[in-house]
Homo-oligomer: A and B are copies of this chain.
Amino acid sequence: MSGQVTRTRILRVGLDLASAEGLCRITFGSVAGRASLSKGGVVAHFPHLDDLKRSILDVALDLWSRTCLGVDTGVGNGLPSLIRYLNVWIRWTRRAGLPGSCPIAQAIVELSFLPGPVREAAAAAESVWRQTLIMLIRDAIDKRHLLQETDVAQLAWDLLGIYLSHHVSTHSLRDPDADRKAQFSVKRIVASLEVINEGAAHPRQGGQ
């Protein structure tokens, strides 16, 4: 078997495991078992466990990119693009076929107090997410869809927060309504910053 093929299989299995149980559950043994390999077989490809974990985060970010920034989710149309991106982002793990949660979001929290290269990789992914949000927000402002005086960093923080809340709510608190609640939050926060045309009444939060 070609080494590349095996390496890819290891990473796919590792990504699934990280999605299902978190990056901290990644061990040589757990990945080897699910990949029908021996421990040594995995180590041959990733001499240090951190290499494997970093690579798993890399493929996770790559999968996120292909899922959320693909051509069909066109970017550059201002507010509609931002809203479409948020809707896709919140469900991207399902759309990408992952069995559980977002490995990056989980890793960001799990590694809070564990400095090292894996933590750096998770932080880097978060930075990519933040920059993506900022880019979309700026575009929406440029196109006069969002208020000129919008605090870009604050709005990006809020939207990233909704993503993290949705992650926790779905996979830890098991709230079956998390999707709807997250969408509602997005709608409300966007509405409060949207440029209002045609004198339409500003919608406020309605009853449950």
Contacts and interface: CB of A to CB of B under 8 A. Distances in A.
B168 A109 contact: yes
8 contacts: A123-B172, A149-B206, A153-B208, A154-B185, A155-B205, A161-B164, A165-B165, A192-B205
B154 A205 contact: yes
Interface in A103-127: 106, 108-113, 123, 126
Nearest to A165: B161
Nearest to A156: B181
A119 B21 CA distance: 14
Contact of A106 (B109, B160, B208): B109
A176 interface: no
Contact of A157 (B101, B111, B123, B181): B181
Which among A147, A152, A168 has the highest number of chain B CB atoms within 10 Å? A168
Which among A112, A123, A152, A155 has the highest number of chain B CB atoms within 10 Å? A112
Interface in A148-195: 148-155, 157-158, 160-162, 164-165, 168-169, 171-173, 175, 181, 184-185, 188-189, 192-193
A185 B204 CA distance: 16
A109 B172 contact: yes
Which among A108, A165, A189 has the highest number of chain B CB atoms within 10 Å? A165
A206 B151 contact: yes
B108 A184 contact: no
Which among A123, A149, A161, A193 has the highest number of chain B CB atoms within 10 Å? A161
Given A149-B206, A165-B161, A208-B154, A123 B173 contact: yes
